Amino acid sequence: MTKRYVGLFLVCAWGCADSVTDIPQVVVESPQVETAEAINTQSPSVEKVVPYTATLQASANDSEFAEPIQGGFEPPVSVGLLPEVIPPHRDRKRMDIDQLSAAILAATNGVGWTVNGDDQFEELARTLGKPDYFDLTSEDLEPAALFQKFLDDAARHVCYELADTEVELATEQRVLMVHASPEDTLASAPEKIEQNLAYLLKRYHGRHVALDGAGMQSFRWLYESAEHVTQDPVLAWRTVCVGLIVHPEFYTY
């Protein structure tokens, strides 16, 4: 009887052991950082990764990497203890109509923009922006296109009259052809031409210019071109006179 119970117990135990389902066990492993050697061995198609320390060592030994790394220390820069002193200055301003008329009269020794006895600066005062203190109380001093147009008209009228008048005057009475006579040309008397140009730049623009200086180049070219085209020194000096008046150095201060 005892043997029967022992045999039944063994049969039941063996059957229960076969019917038990194995439960998979989840193993949580700590993340591992793949090293450069591991990456190089995993995939032969991937470029080999060089460790950062090896790169720094190669950079220090290779002349190709001789330049300092960004963020490194550089030689010190000397800085003054006091701020930089900028001399006082202001932007140039355009003359008003009264100042412009007076400047032309002074430069040409009394020849103004007068047509049939009427001063055109006074006739065109409202058009040129001169205030009447009823509708306009301040003068527009911008060198606009309308101002440039009337300034060109005034310069042509004044310089034409001045050049024609000086042909009949003695040398000591001239203010346009002072060091060069109406007969002197660039080929016959180049020194006189350049000396007269320097004189006119001082009279009209208030600039002392050396005969061989850069400030003479543009007006020397202007005279040479005008004389070449007209074959007349008087007309060439008339052209220079117009160029001097319409230049910003004349109507600004």
Residue 208 Ramachandran class (φ > 0 left, ψ -120 to 50 alpha, else beta): beta
Q: What is the pLDDT of residue 228?
A: 96
| Mean pLDDT per 10-residue section of the chain, whose length is 253 residues | 57 53 49 51 51 52 53 70 81 92 96 94 90 84 90 97 95 95 95 96 94 89 96 97 96 93
Max Cα-Cα span within the chain: 167
DSSP 11-48: HHHHHHHHHPPPPPPP--PPP-PPPHHHHHHH-TTSPP
Q: What is the pLDDT of residue 143?
A: 82
Report the DSSP beta bridge partners of residue 252: 94
Contact predicate 241/176, CB 8 Å = yes
Q: Token pair for residue 54?
A: 């090896």
Q: What is the pLDDT of residue 20?
A: 47
Q: What is the DSSP letter of 94?
A: B
Q: How far is CA 22 from CA 5, 11, 155, in A?
A: 29, 21, 112
The rounded distance, in Å, linking the Cα atoms of 103 and 108 is 9
The rounded distance, in Å, linking the Cα atoms of 73 and 81 is 22
Q: What is the pLDDT of residue 108?
A: 96
